[in-house]
């Protein structure tokens, strides 16, 4: 790979005697990894995995897989059993340490790897707002949240400024995986390498300053921000954090344990930076099995002056009398009624997590779990609901081997011949929910979404 000369000069000055090993890493193949979805993957998954897996040291559910394994084409991927994710990119969400019941924001969230990782830590409890400013990328984010069967994520398409005006002092944890110059991804993305320039680095640093300032306003006292990038540029890493601490003295860098061959940030790479930069974290591709990444854990001191949070109340939801069609559906098809706040958007019914703040005035792509659509005199369940449910939560299900002709036919959109009680069925691949089918007259009608079907 031909690296930009200005980039090479700067990296050589930073790494000195390590630079030769760093440059040589670009001739090595990237490590590939996936992250198991603990809400789906059973404890015996590793014993029966169709792929050879090796643990990623810094991610609880992260595993390297071998080249040629093609997990993206396996039915388990369609069922949301795992998320394919670059191994270094798994680090920031681990250091966020989100817990069940918290209020968490993923501010720059697309395509959804870190959001789905945070959601795994939250175990379906609490409120996770996942935001992406670009509409097309926000749609991809929403689709990945759906595939992973997550119910407590609200996907928004807003500017950080707009969110900060509404959610002052609201969140316990915030992840800012900031837009950056992408230097750490040159090996995986040659286009990023070709588009790189020093002016782009400076522009990104300015944007990062702005985004972090908005994040600071939304964090409660005692809360935590994890700032991360996939670049090596000190101006965007130690520099951004140093400038942030000068603007917001109520924040400190939280020292964290470095795992495997992670290194600390370097205060000497930025003018005026304090020695606390050593407590930030760098991941270099010549030291560990992953691409370039940087992260800093920032905590807001208890008792810091700030405005009180605006939201003391949650969304009230729609009245029970407006749930007649869904009530009929769940009583016929589910073991129990899903708990949460029921919201209607047109004919679509959603289940928002408890304590969801008022959403009026926000651009919302997914206000929680999409339950389905009210049709004329009936309720049609969504694909998201099928992926959310487990076998023991539905009245009827049908299980096929993941490598069976039936699952291949199902993912192709074909109906399947089978016998059983008439009604809605969750289709399972080795026990993992993958979609809906409706059985009648010995034929299971396919309800797998047309846009997801395989040729």
**DSSP per-residue string spanning 87-143:** GGGGHHHHHH---TT-EEEESS-TTSHHHHHHHHHHTT-SEEEEE-SSHHHHHHHHH
* Neighbouring residues of 160: CB distance < 8 A, sequence distance ≥ 6: 107, 131, 133, 210, 211, 214, 215
Strands 293-300 and 281-283: antiparallel
How far apart are the C-alpha atoms of 110 and 118, rounded to whole Å?
13
Please state the φ and ψ torsions of residue 309, each to the nearest 5 degrees: -60, 150
pTM: 0.96
Per-residue tokens: 339: 């708990």
Query: Is 418 among the catalytic positions?
Result: no
Q: Where are the alpha helices (DSSP H) in 232-365?
A: 238-247, 324-333
Q: Which of 230, 254, 324, 395 is the catalytic position?
A: 230
Q: What is the pLDDT of residue 314?
A: 78
Burial class (CB in 10 A: 0-12, 13-18, 19+), 342: buried
Q: What is the pLDDT of residue 302?
A: 83
Please state the φ and ψ torsions of residue 400, each to the nearest 5 degrees: -125, 155
The CA-based angle 355-356-360, given to 5 degrees, is: 140
Residue-by-residue pLDDT tens, the chain, 455 positions: 789 999 999 999 999 999 999 999 999 999 999 999 999 999 899 999 999 999 999 999 999 999 999 999 999 999 999 999 999 999 999 999 999 999 999 999 999 999 999 999 999 999 999 999 999 999 999 999 999 999 999 999 999 999 999 999 999 999 999 999 999 999 988 888 999 999 999 999 999 999 999 999 999 999 999 999 999 999 999 999 999 999 999 999 999 999 999 999 999 999 999 999 999 999 999 999 999 999 999 999 987 655 555 555 678 899 988 999 999 999 999 999 999 999 999 999 999 999 899 998 999 999 999 999 999 899 999 999 999 999 999 999 999 999 999 999 999 999 999 999 999 999 999 999 999 999 999 999 999 999 999 87
**What is the maximum alpha-carbon separation in the chain?**
75
Place of tokens 């199902």: 410
Q: What is the pLDDT of residue 190?
A: 86
CA end-to-end distance (rounded Å), the chain: 35
What is the CA 372 to chain-centroid distance, rounded?
23
Please state the φ and ψ torsions of residue 67, each to the nearest 5 degrees: -60, 140
């Amino acid at each position: 790979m031909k690296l930009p000369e200005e980039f090479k000069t700067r990296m050589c000055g930073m790494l000195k005697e390590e630079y030769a090993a760093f440059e040589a890493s670009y001739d090595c193949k990237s490590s590939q990894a996936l992250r198991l979805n603990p809400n789906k993957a059973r404890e015996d998954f590793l014993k029966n995995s169709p792929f050879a897996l090796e643990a990623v040291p810094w991610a609880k559910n992260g595993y390297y897989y071998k080249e040629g394994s093609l997990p993206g084409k396996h039915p388990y991927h369609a069922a949301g059993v795992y998320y394919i994710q670059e191994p270094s990119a798994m680090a920031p969400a681990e250091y966020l340490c989100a817990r069940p019941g918290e209020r968490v924001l993923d501010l720059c969230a697309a395509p959804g790897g870190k959001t789905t990782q945070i959601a795994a830590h939250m175990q379906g409890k609490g409120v996770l707002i996942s935001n992406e400013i670009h509409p097309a990328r926000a749609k991809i984010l929403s689709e990945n949240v759906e595939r992973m069967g997550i119910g407590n994520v609200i996907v928004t398409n807003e500017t950080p400024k707009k969110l900060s005006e509404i959610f002052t002092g609201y969140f316990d944890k915030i992840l800012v995986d900031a837009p950056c110059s992408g230097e750490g991804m040159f090996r995986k993305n040659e286009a990023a390498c070709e588009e790189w320039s020093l002016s782009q680095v400076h522009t990104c640093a300015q944007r990062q300053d702005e985004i972090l300032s908005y994040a600071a306003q939304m964090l409660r006292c005692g809360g935590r921000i994890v700032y991360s990038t996939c670049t090596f540029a000190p101006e965007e890493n130690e520099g951004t954090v140093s400038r942030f601490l000068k603007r917001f003295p109520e924040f400190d860098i939280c020292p964290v344990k470095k795992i495997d061959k992670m290194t600390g940030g370097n205060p000497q790479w930025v003018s005026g930076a304090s020695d606390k930069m050593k407590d930030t974290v760098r991941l270099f591709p010549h030291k560990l099995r992953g691409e370039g990444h940087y992260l800093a854990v920032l905590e807001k001191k208890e008792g810091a002056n700030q405005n009180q949070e605006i939201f003391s109340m949650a969304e009230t939801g729609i009245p029970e009398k407006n749930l007649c069609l869904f009530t009929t559906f769940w009583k016929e098809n589910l073991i129990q009624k899903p708990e949460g706040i029921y919201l209607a958007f047109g004919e679509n019914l959603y289940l928002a997590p408890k304590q969801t703040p008022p959403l009026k005035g926000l651009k919302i792509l997914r206000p929680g779990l999409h339950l389905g659509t009210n049709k004329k005199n009936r309720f049609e369940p969504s694909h998201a609901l099928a992926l959310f449910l487990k076998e023991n939560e539905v009245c009827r299900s049908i299980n096929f081997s993941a490598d069976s002709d039936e699952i291949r036919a199902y993912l192709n959109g074909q109906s399947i011949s089978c016998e059983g009680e008439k009604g809605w069925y969750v289709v399972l691949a080795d026990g993992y929910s993958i979609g809906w089918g409706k059985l009648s007259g010995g034929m299971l009608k396919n309800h797998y979404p047309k846009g997801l079907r395989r040729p």
